[in-house]
Amino acid sequence: LDALPEPFPGFSLEEFIGSARKQLILRALETAQGNQSEAARVLGISPQAVHKFLQRSKPDFNWS
């Protein structure tokens, strides 16, 4: 719990959770060398969830 931020006025739990989710999915994809199914398995989510994340995030990242 020490690694979690202290809530403060204006803190957004939704933004914090979204950021953590993004970082974990990207880290899992890196560890799985881009294999979406393997990243999903490690995270305990469906491959479709990883694919959806990537589709929604395309404008945010340079995938080349």
At 28-52, the pLDDT tens digits run 999 999 999 999 999 999 999 999 9
pLDDT tens column, 20-29: 999 999 999 9
Q: pTM for this one?
A: 0.79
Task: Quote the CA–CA distance of 2 and 43 in Å, as a whole number.
Answer: 22
Secondary structure (3-state) at 18: helix
* Domain spans in the chain, listed from the N-terminal domain onward: 34-58
Going by the DSSP 8-state scheme, the letter that residue 57 receives in this structure is H
Q: Are 55 and 44 in contact (CB under 8 A)?
A: no
- Three-class SS of residue 33? coil
- Maximum alpha-carbon separation in the chain: 39
